[in-house]
Amino acid sequence: MLVEFNNLEINNLHPKSEFEKKVFFFVEEWLSDSKTVKVQTSGSTGAPKIFEIEKEKMLNSAEMTCNFLELKNNDTALLCLPVEYISGKMMIVRSFERKLKLFISDSSLKPLENLDQEIDFCAMTPLQVENSLDKIHFIKKLIIGGAAVSESLKKKITQTLLLFHSSTKIYETYGMSETLSHIALKEIYPKYDDYFTVFEKINISVDEKGCLKIHAPKLNSEILQTNDLVEITNGNQFKYLGRIDNVINSGGAKIFPEQLEALVKKEIPNEAVFLGMKDESLGQRLILVIEGKESELINQKLSIINYQQKFHKPKEIIFVEKIPRTPNGKVNRSELKSIFEKK
């Protein structure tokens, strides 16, 4: 189904699939007199909840994204994210705000399977991108959110798009439900940035612990305090260092596990997690847990990793069959740590 927001005639929309019907119902809800729309939480941190968001604030968010990506009236977009959640709804709101031509796919793991034409803009999850590498060259501007983009996926993206001589631009997003989708983007192809760039009219700072604070009055009336440790540069750019909850203190040195994991994943495809285990002399002893079977090849690749500091090198490397994960697929560090503490 194609929805042309520059000349929207809702009576001309004839949804066939269940996904298209959900899109249709949201378009009707958006065009209603209500100043708010209902959004469902993903349930990754508890039971799913329904809450209401002001349409005006959603439009503000949409405008910021469209301006950053320089999207124009009549540009094409592809919706392939669940419409129940903010990610899918915001794709429709951006189409309203910028009068885009929105193609409706499905929120499947292979949303580009039947794509055979160029699309100006699309938003996908890392897993969807992983399953669509042979088609992402059709997308001119792609944003990836919902979870961090792994180093191995970045490698695959680069290899694939170089093969197709593609001019595609790909960005990783930073945001949360309180900011109505993302507030910053970081280019990962063809250029690779270390820093996220925040949108205009959004101010960032850090608290006394170095955690990010977000002041985005057009999206949320409150100043949002995060648990994300960052390094700010140029006033409007930040490098994500890791969650403050995950910081490891070994012999008085602060270690950011996410940074080390990114370094390791440049060399091996396996999931890798750094943990700090109790140690009488160091306080916490740094260990590396790797998912999968130990092999000579993996050990060889691990041995050539160039750690910036001596204390970044793990005291022990442990291979496990499976690393526990949360319902939304993220590594469950606390559960993994408790497994080793019991031993």
Are 55 and 36 a contacting pair, CB within 8 Å? yes
Domains of the chain: 2-200 (3.40.50.12780), 247-342 (3.30.300.30)
Strand, helix or coil for residue 313? coil
Give the residues of the chain that fall short of pLDDT 70: 41-48, 327-329, 343
Q: Please tell me the predicted confidence (pLDDT) of residue 48.
A: 62
DSSP E strand boundaries for the chain? 2-4, 36-40, 50-54, 76-79, 101-104, 119-124, 139-144, 169-176, 181-189, 196-198, 203-206, 211-215, 224-233, 237-243, 248-250, 253-255, 272-279, 283-291, 316-320
Q: For 10-33, what is each residue's pLDDT tens digit?
A: 878 888 899 999 999 999 999 999
Q: Please tell me the predicted confidence (pLDDT) of residue 1.
A: 85
Residue 18 neighbours by CB distance under 10 Å:
8
pTM (2 d.p.): 0.88
* Backbone angles phi and psi of 36, in degrees to 5: -130, 165
Burial level of 322, CB count in 10 A (0-12/13-18/19+)? exposed
Q: Please tell me the predicted confidence (pLDDT) of residue 152.
A: 87
Q: For 97-142, what is each residue's pLDDT tens digit?
A: 999 999 999 888 999 999 999 999 999 999 999 999 999 999 999 9
Q: Please tell me the predicted confidence (pLDDT) of residue 45.
A: 45
Tell the residue number behind the tokens 């499947």, with chain if given. 108
